[in-house]
Chains A and B, each alone.
Chain A
Amino acid sequence: MALSDDVNSRPLVLLVDDEKVSLKILSDLLKHEVDIALAKNGLQALEKIKQNKPDLILMDVLMPGMDGFEVINILKADKAFEAIPVIFITGLNSAGEEERGLTLGAQDYIHKPFSPEVVKARVATQLKIVRQRLQLQRLSDELIEASEAKSRFLANMSHEIRTPLTSIIGYAEGITQGDFDNQFINKAVSIIAQNGQHLLNVVNEILDLSKIEANKLEIELLDMDLIALLGSIESLMMQQAQGKGLTFAIDYQFPLPSVINSDPTRLKQILLNLINNAIKFTEQGSVTVRVKTTADDQLAFCVEDTGIGLTPAQMDKLFADFTQVDSSVARKYGGTGLGLSIARSLANKLGGDISVESEAKVGSQFTVTTDMVMPEQSVWIEDREALEQKRARGAVTAKEEIPTLSGTVLLAEDHHDNRALFSQLLKRMGLDVTAVENGEQAVEQSMMEDFDLIFLDIQMPVMDGISAMKIIKSTAPGVPIVALTANAMTTEIEKYLAEGFTDHISKPIDRRVFISLVQHYFDAAVEGDFDLDENELDALKVQFVEGLVQGLEEIKQQLASDDWHNLGAQAHAIKGSAPMYGFDELGDIADRLEIAAKHNQPEQMRILAQALIDNIDSILTTH
């Protein structure tokens, strides 16, 4: 095998000489390091070059018939062979002949009688050059391919970014220009939010890729509720799947651990990527996620679909960056082409991998495995019944609760829209908010008033967040100060905390994380309240159901008398507690009823109140 086939194989050297003694000597010298092919004349040499494509040719000049110069002329005129280096071996001591040979393209000369050391050294040098040239050629080919892939990626990115922006800008302008009636405005805002989220996902994928390339992709290992995570994914994906007429299900293959030590954000990212792809590439049938443990104590999540499937050639390039399986798929289905590459990098970070089995036009199965580290508090869930009980005990609500707090907050954020958003959110929690534009104003306010909690953006004009924090801490050392960071790298966060910040939250903020963080600093007694044992929970559930009996009568009266205010209050109470006992649907209806009450929508309230009554009736019948 020549170096051109495998750069790590033994090189092939062709020895050409009409004197057999020269062939014998050279062969004997070189055969331990290289593979040998032989030729006695120019014609035979050309045949063997075509057959074997050697890495190096050692050739006599003076041969009967076709001499060495004629052979090299023919080689250099053929693109397939012109790069093969030639060393002439000669018994003639002629400078003119040497000049001619070198001019024709020979790399070197060896004189007879041979010195073994000289022969070996010259051959080794030329073969080293051949290896380097092949490696450079391979590198060049890879770089060209990477460059072409990046060009395709940029073209695709332009589409992926511009498409949601079109909706965002378009609908926003429509709202400001009064193009939509009141009924449609909520929907328009919802569309803006969805597209904004999609755009954020695209940006995050690009940032994740740059982190992977810089070897800075980070995971944060936490004790996480596996069942809650899967439940959240099911909620997110069910609607999307059903919207396409697909069935979607999570198939729990017991036993499964209740809690594992992993990175919930990244694990969710991987699973959402795979499920999104499955839904995207399936027009009819189903998407199923099978969750199980493996023989080597890992967790496996198998996302199976009945979609378009993949050919073997498509599977080969599946996990490469910037690659959709082919451009027609990219045009039809969209996508950045980064998701699987990132997903695999994340899976590797979590101690596992992603594999795929697929058949074109039948469907695909993507399996992600991760380490399964069970912390102390984790238990084995053995069957479906245990799973439902776990869910009932879990403090999972379908919609987020915004707590009612009391206190003062100082917010320094130079971006107007962000400042307005954070302020609104804090005020909804019942807090008094002072919002300023820069660090200097924050320092001034902190000197005029005592605050219970301070949020400081880092990058601000006039005075940045770090400078402001240091001044504030020197005068009010006990107040918690939270950094609002756009840069979420661990090293940067560690730096802010080392500088003196109490905590941090990354932008764009996750509402639930933000609410939880604020609640933490205002109400430290939240944790541990839901740690009930089974009997206590059953007793509370019975109590709740008994309470529904009276509640049902009150709702009917409030509906009959159009008592929207009290109906709203009733809905609020049910919304907060129903999901805790596994009555998710009841909690959902109550939540929507409360929202309709707040927005003063009587017609909506009538419909929802009736739905609430029907649901309570159903619960009372079965419990």
Chain B
Amino acid sequence: MPHKDLSNEQLLLAINRVDGLDALKALDGMSGQTSLYLKLVKNFAQDQHGRADELQALFQAKDWEVLKRRCHSLKSYSAYVGAYELNHLCADAEAKLNKGSVDQSVIEAICRLLDPLVEKLRQIVIDNETPSAKAEFNLLQFKKDLIALLPLLEQSDFGAEEALQKLMQITEGRDHHHTLQQIYSYVDDVEYEIAVEETRKLLESLV
């Protein structure tokens, strides 16, 4: 989906201006792979939306094991996007949870950084997206798109997620939408091998 008036470079600069984020250092750690970094930032903004509330709830429930796993995941994720202060707080929380439990102040400190960060990033990378016009369904084009999807699935390429999302948008309310949803769920579970088989069956049914 095209971003309104923002090139990758502009996006990068905008992200770098967000408090608590050093995008350029993070990009450096990724050998300058801008498109990969921007995808990670977008995924971060999507995946971590509401995470702060979850962390608070886990703390209240004293579910230390799950809380530890969430802090462990967030620790890595925040390092990838360049949120290094958040990364250190998560590492501290994880270390304490390894010993048994953690203070509420530590979790609150994480949430204080996480919430505004996620909101800001959502504004830059998601809310600014100009939704593309929904393409008209065309059977021939649909088959071509499925054929193009197959190698992505065979190679377990995460690019298949985006391709499937587009196809699901096009087929909404039509035949095959449900099948595509099933294929997407396999991809989401990284069962690419099953997704390949189902896509081949779908193609054969269209012949």
Q: Kindly state whether residue B33 has any CB partner on chain A within 8 Å.
A: yes
Contact of B36 among A23, A28, A35, A51 (CB under 8 A): A28
Contact with B along A110-139 (1 / 0, CB 8 A): 001101110000000000000000000000
Binds B, one of A37-45, A185-193, A310-318, A474-482: A37-45
Q: Which residues of A contact B79 (CB under 8 A)?
A: 112-113
Q: Which residues of B contact A37 (CB under 8 A)?
A: 156, 192-193
Q: Kindly state whether residue A506 has any CB partner on chain B within 8 Å.
A: no
Q: Is the beta-carbon distance between A116 and B75 smaller than 8 angstroms? A: no
Q: How many residues of A contact B (CB 8 A)?
A: 29
Q: Is the beta-carbon distance between B73 and A24 smaller than 8 angstroms? A: no
Q: Is the beta-carbon distance between B31 and A28 smaller than 8 angstroms? A: no
Q: Is the beta-carbon distance between B192 and A38 smaller than 8 angstroms? A: yes
Q: Kindly state whether residue A405 has any CB partner on chain B within 8 Å.
A: no
Scan residues 11-31 of chain A and give those whose CB is less than 8 A from a CB of chain B.
18-25, 27-28, 31
Q: Is the beta-carbon distance between B80 and A25 smaller than 8 angstroms? A: yes
Q: Kindly state whether residue A429 has any CB partner on chain B within 8 Å.
A: no
A25-B40, A51-B193 are contacts. A116–B76 as well, Cβ < 8 Å? no
Q: Is the beta-carbon distance between A36 and B156 smaller than 8 angstroms? A: yes
Scan residues 1-38 of chain B and give those whose CB is less than 8 A from a CB of chain A.
29-31, 33, 36
Scan residues 63-116 of chain B and give those whose CB is less than 8 A from a CB of chain A.
69, 72-73, 75-77, 79-80
Q: Which residues of A contact B72 (CB under 8 A)?
A: 62, 91-92
Q: Kindly state whether residue A174 has any CB partner on chain B within 8 Å.
A: no
Contact of B156 among A19, A27, A40, A112 (CB under 8 A): A27
* Docked pose: A162 CA to B3 CA in angstroms: 89
Q: Is the beta-carbon distance between B76 and A39 smaller than 8 angstroms? A: no
Q: Is the beta-carbon distance between A113 and B80 smaller than 8 angstroms? A: yes
Q: Kindly state whether residue A64 has any CB partner on chain B within 8 Å.
A: yes
A40-B189, A116-B30, A116-B31 are contacts. A27–B158 as well, Cβ < 8 Å? yes
Q: Is the beta-carbon distance between A38 and B76 smaller than 8 angstroms? A: no
Q: Is the beta-carbon distance between A112 and B69 smaller than 8 angstroms? A: no
Q: Is the beta-carbon distance between B155 and A39 smaller than 8 angstroms? A: no
A21-B43, A91-B76, A113-B79 are contacts. A38–B29 as well, Cβ < 8 Å? no
Q: Which residues of B contact A36 (CB under 8 A)?
A: 155-157
Q: Whole-angstrom distance from the CB of B84 to the nearest CB of chain A? A: 10
Q: Which residues of A contact B178 (CB under 8 A)?
A: none
Q: Is the beta-carbon distance between B190 and A19 smaller than 8 angstroms? A: no
Q: Kindly state whether residue B144 has any CB partner on chain A within 8 Å.
A: no
Q: Which residues of A contact B192 (CB under 8 A)?
A: 37-38
* Docked pose: A25 CA to B193 CA in angstroms: 20
Q: Which residues of A contact B43 (CB under 8 A)?
A: 20-21, 24
Q: Which residues of B contact A116 (CB under 8 A)?
A: 29-31, 33
Q: Which residues of B contact A21 (CB under 8 A)?
A: 40, 43-44, 47, 73, 76-77, 80
Number of A-B contacts (CB under 8 A): 71
Q: Whole-angstrom distance from the CB of B55 to the nearest CB of chain A? A: 16
Q: Whole-angstrom distance from the CB of B94 to the nearest CB of chain A? A: 8
Q: Which residues of A contact B156 (CB under 8 A)?
A: 27, 35-38
Q: Kindly state whether residue B200 has any CB partner on chain A within 8 Å.
A: no
Q: Whole-angstrom distance from the CB of A220 to the nearest CB of chain B? A: 58
* Docked pose: A15 CA to B36 CA in angstroms: 18
Most B CB contacts (10 A, CB to CB) among A21, A39, A92, A117 go to A21
Q: Is the beta-carbon distance between A91 and B75 smaller than 8 angstroms? A: yes
Most A CB contacts (10 A, CB to CB) among B29, B40, B47, B190 go to B190
Q: Which residues of B contact A20 (CB under 8 A)?
A: 43, 190
* Docked pose: A493 CA to B191 CA in angstroms: 72
Contact of A19 among B36, B77, B157 (CB under 8 A): B77
Contact of B73 among A19, A40, A51 (CB under 8 A): A19
Q: Which residues of B contact A112 (CB under 8 A)?
A: 76, 79
* Docked pose: A21 CA to B69 CA in angstroms: 14
* Docked pose: A115 CA to B32 CA in angstroms: 12
* Docked pose: A39 CA to B156 CA in angstroms: 10
* Docked pose: A115 CA to B72 CA in angstroms: 18
* Docked pose: A427 CA to B104 CA in angstroms: 120
Chain A, residue nearest B188 (CB):
A20
Q: Whole-angstrom distance from the CB of B174 to the nearest CB of chain A? A: 29
* Docked pose: A38 CA to B155 CA in angstroms: 10
Q: Which residues of B contact A23 (CB under 8 A)?
A: 158, 190
* Docked pose: A117 CA to B190 CA in angstroms: 25
23 contacts between A and B (CB under 8 A): A20-B190, A21-B40, A21-B77, A21-B80, A23-B158, A24-B36, A24-B39, A24-B158, A25-B30, A27-B158, A28-B33, A31-B157, A36-B155, A36-B157, A37-B192, A38-B190, A39-B190, A40-B189, A112-B79, A113-B76, A116-B30, A116-B33, A117-B31
A-B CB proximity, top 6 nearest: A38-B190, A113-B79, A36-B156, A112-B76, A116-B31, A91-B76
Q: A113-B76, A115-B29 are in contact. List 12 more A-B contacts (CB 8 A).
A: A21-B76, A21-B80, A23-B158, A24-B40, A37-B156, A39-B190, A40-B189, A40-B190, A44-B191, A113-B29, A113-B79, A113-B80
